[in-house]
Amino acid sequence: MSMTDPIADFLTRIRNAIHASHETVLMPGSRQKSELARILAEQGYIDAFSVEPALGAPGEVLQINLKYDESRRSAISGLRRVSRPGRRTYVDAKHIPRVQGGMGTAIVSTSKGVMTGHEARAAGVGGEVVAEVW
């Protein structure tokens, strides 16, 4: 099975796991997915993530520990893929979107690495708007 958009798959697996109230999500790992997970962890949307070698298969497995409050509500209320393979979305530093009026996080892939929209704006760099989380 060929995967045309691994990032959309990453977001969908997290979304599905939240709907099913799972504690953890497993998926094929990649450097970009690890960077996305790092930002989700730094921004407090997930508890933790780890990358392990896949057993009996090449590559790595990315494990994400989801975060819920006492009433089992997820820390993530929404995930959206912005730039898709069919329609890439690039912005300069001045046009990085504010998600939910600043309550959410835009994830931007820049020449200086993957960072939040806030960090990219502060660093004065633009790039590809990978996803939005709120």
Residue 4: predicted pLDDT = 87
Q: What are the domain boundaries of the chain?
A: 6-66, 79-133
Residue 2: predicted pLDDT = 60
CA distance 116 to 46: 15
Question: Is the pLDDT at 52 greater than 60, yes or no?
Answer: yes
29 touches 59 (CB < 8 A): yes
pLDDT cut 70: percent of the chain above it: 99
Residue 1: predicted pLDDT = 54
The model carries a pTM of 0.91
Closest CA to 119 of 83, 128, 110: 110
Q: Which fold has domain 6-66?
A: Ribosomal Protein S8; Chain: A, domain 1 (3.30.1370)
Give residue-wise pLDDT tens across range 106-121.
999 999 999 999 999 9
Report whether CATH 2.60.40.10 matches the domain 79-133.
no
63 touches 90 (CB < 8 A): no
Q: What one-letter code names the amino acid at 21?
A: S
Give residue-wise pLDDT tens across range 22-43.
999 999 999 999 999 999 999 9
